[in-house]
Structure 1
Amino acid sequence: MKPAPSPQKDAYSLVLEAIDLGLYKPGDRLVESELAERFGVSRTPIREALQRLETQSLLTRDGRSLIVASLDHNQLAELYVVRSELEGLAARLAAQHATEEEVRVLRDMLDSDRLLAKDPAALARTNRRFHKMVHLASHNRYLVQQLDLVYRSMALMATTSLSSEGRAEIALAEHDEIVQAIEKRDSDRAYAALKSHISKAYVTRLKSDAEAAE
């Protein structure tokens, strides 16, 4: 069934969200007419959205077709280096500047996410919301903008590290460490906890990719 069009989102946001949610995975071909029908919009904004996504290297050419790009080993390493530093900084600033309400929301998110430990797909979605809340709690608009770019590239990952056996429970414990540090306004601890969290997620992904290549 074709999803109802959303008046709040433009064609670019709709296509990007579809990639982020895994409706279109790396290597999948994107066709203007199919996308226009799926999202209930005309082909012109879809064409403009695809051109924009190609410019941002989220789509690539395969002959005359546009396909969802993929990240090679080196690109993945580069992305995680940047993500680790920027997210660590966001946690440090959140410990310094988050409002009491923002800290409470982070704690509530974590409590809710524990109920999803057996559902990696659902947990992946709430995981993004948790990290976004940390970004916003930094109260630094320029940092949030850069992290948005990083997460846009992360949409090119076909799988989530949370699907690896045991990773969900460990990730939630790491989130708890991050929230505790922010609650206690310990900026150094928050920075270290989030950097460690990203590093462990990267190790999990590398192991998963290696096993898939066997």
Structure 2
Amino acid sequence: MSQTRAGQTDAYALILQAIDVGVFKPGDRLVESDLADRFGVSRTPIREALQRLETQNLLTRDGRSLIVASLSHNEMAELYAVRSELEGLAARLAAQHASAEEVLVLREMVQEDRKLTDDPSALSRANRRFHKQIHLASHNRFLVRQLDLVHRSMALMATTSLAAEGRGEVAMEEHNAIVEAIAAGDQDAAQQALRDHISVAFVTRLKLDSLSSDGA
């Protein structure tokens, strides 16, 4: 890979990661010069990275400025509908193809993540790792790519459903049910458990958004 190409990739990955972990939130304005200084990258790869992110609808225009995009109610509903189907398929395939070692890793993740239920930000990061591990356990590269795109768009939500009171503990029980279905090789149960998990998360997020709107 050429140095220029590497710079473009690094700039894109750095900005994307900052959006993903909430450093840049929906509505935040991204300025080339500020990003170049922040990441120690020249403005050219920053500009090209911003153009790429705009093409992917992760950034949008506000006049002449680029801002981190946000999701409307309908867009969020559409995203969760797609996520439910794709994640359910990943769990189904994981129940069919996951190795004993992959199941062990998933079980250990659930146990470790139980310790984070009082820290929504840390639990949210752990949650992404858990779901990614299920995607990988599906052993279907095309599905993994599509789920990467879906989870990239999830970063456009300003809050995590895991911030709702009591949601962390319940989510860990849901994760455990998913893993045990995968471990048992029960494809139907694994698929349904993960789809139910996504459904509860969506309902929780809708409630959080409703409370946020009431306080506006």
Q: Which residue of 2 aligns with 1:193?
A: 193
SS in structure 1 of the partner of residue 46 of structure 2:
helix
Shift of 1:106: 0.3
- Counterparts of residues 9-24 of structure 1 (less than 5 Å): 10-24=10-24
Counterpart Cα distance in 2 of 1:40 and 1:199: 41
List per-residue Cα deviations over 1:59-102 (Å, max 9, x = no partner).
00001100000000000000000000000000000000001111
Counterpart Cα distance in 2 of 1:151 and 1:49: 19
SS in structure 1 of the partner of residue 165 of structure 2:
coil
SS in structure 2 of the partner of residue 24 of structure 1:
coil
Shift of 1:37: 1.0
1:126 matched to 2:126? The reply is yes
Counterpart Cα distance in 1 of 2:153 and 2:212: 21
Q: Which residue of 2 aligns with 1:68?
A: 68
List per-residue Cα deviations over 1:94-139 (Å, max 9, x = no partner).
0000011111000011110011010000000000000000000000
What is the count of residue pairs matched by the alignment?
208
Q: Which residue of 1 aligns with 2:106?
A: 106
Considering only aligned residues, what root-mean-square deviation do their CA atoms show, in Å? 1.1
Percentage of matched positions with identical amino acids: 71
- Counterparts of residues 13-162 of structure 1 (less than 5 Å): 13-162=13-162
Shift of 1:40: 1.0
State the AA in 2 paired with 1:201: A
Counterpart Cα distance in 1 of 2:112 and 2:37: 35
Structure 1's unaligned 5+ residue stretches are 1-6
Shift of 1:154: 0.5
List per-residue Cα deviations over 1:8-50 (Å, max 9, x = no partner).
x611011000001000000000011111111111111110000
Counterpart Cα distance in 1 of 2:193 and 2:36: 43
- Give TM-score, length-normalised by structure 1: 0.96
Counterpart Cα distance in 1 of 2:95 and 2:37: 45
State the AA in 1 paired with 2:43: R
Counterpart Cα distance in 2 of 1:99 and 1:13: 30
State the AA in 2 paired with 1:87: E
Counterpart Cα distance in 1 of 2:178 and 2:157: 24
Counterpart Cα distance in 2 of 1:98 and 1:10: 32
Counterpart Cα distance in 1 of 2:144 and 2:156: 20
State the AA in 1 paired with 2:45: P
Structure 2's unaligned 5+ residue stretches are 1-6
SS in structure 1 of the partner of residue 135 of structure 2:
helix
State the AA in 2 paired with 1:157: M
- Give TM-score, length-normalised by structure 2: 0.95
Counterpart Cα distance in 1 of 2:11 and 2:149: 18
List per-residue Cα deviations over 1:126-171 (Å, max 9, x = no partner).
0000000000000000000000010111110010000000100000
State the AA in 2 paired with 1:183: A
